Amino acid sequence: MSAKQLEQAAQATKTAFVFPGQGSQKVGMLAELAEQFSGIRDTFAEASEAVGFDLWQIAQMGEGLDQTEFTQPVLLTASIALWRVWLELGGVAPKYMAGHSLGEYSALVAAGALSLGDAVKLVNLRGKLMQTAVPQGVGAMAAILGLDDAKVIELCAQATAAGEGSVEAANYNAQGQVVVAGNKERVEAVMALAKENGGKAIALPVSVPSHCSLMKPAAEQFATALEQTAIEMPRIPVLQNVGAKAAADVSELRQALTEQLYESVQWTKTLQFLQDEGVEYIVECGPGNVLANMAKRLPNIEKALPLDTQSRLEDALNTVLVAEGKIA
pLDDT (tens digit per residue) in 245-288:
999 999 999 999 999 999 999 999 999 999 999 999 999 999 99
Q: From CA 141, how far away is CA 202, in angstroms rounded? A: 9
Of 79, 100, 106, 211, the active-site residue reads: 211
Q: From CA 165, how far away is CA 156, in angstroms rounded? A: 11
Q: What are the residue boundaries of the structural domains of the chain, listed by start? A: 2-133+214-323, 139-206
Q: From CA 225, how far away is CA 64, in angstroms rounded? A: 24
Mean pLDDT of 72-84: 98
Looking at residue 59, what is its pLDDT?
98
Reply yes or no on whether 101 is catalytic: yes
The pTM assigned to this predicted structure is 0.96
Longest Cα pair distance anywhere in the chain, in angstroms? 62
Of 2, 101, 207, 264, the active-site residue reads: 101
- Single out the residue of 13, 77, 68 nearest to residue 215, CA to CA: 68
Query: Domain 139-206 maps to which CATH number in 3.60.21.10, 3.30.70.250, 1.10.1050.10, 3.40.50.300?
Result: 3.30.70.250
Mean pLDDT of 41-61: 98
Mean pLDDT of 207-236: 95
**What confidence tens digit (pLDDT) does each residue in 198-214 have?**
999 999 988 799 999 99
Reply yes or no on whether 100 is catalytic: no
130 contacts 172 by C-beta, under 8 angstroms: no
Mean pLDDT of 172-182: 96
DSSP symbols for 89-141 = TTPPBPSEEEESTTHHHHHHHHTTSS-HHHHHHHHHHHHHHHHHHS-TTTEEE
Mean pLDDT of 282-302: 96
- CATH code for the structural domain at 2-133+214-323: 3.40.366.10
Mean pLDDT of 289-315: 96
**Please, which residues have CB within 8 angstroms of residue 296's CB and are 6 or more apart in sequence?**
282, 303, 304
Q: From CA 215, how far away is CA 229, in angstroms rounded? A: 21
Instruction: Give the Cβ contact number of residue 224 at 10 Å.
Output: 11
> Which band of pLDDT confidence, cut at 50, 70 and 90, is reported for residue 7?
confident
Mean pLDDT of 179-199: 97
pLDDT at 5 > cutoff 60: yes
- Single out the residue of 103, 99, 45 nearest to residue 75, CA to CA: 103
**Residue-averaged pLDDT of the chain:** 96
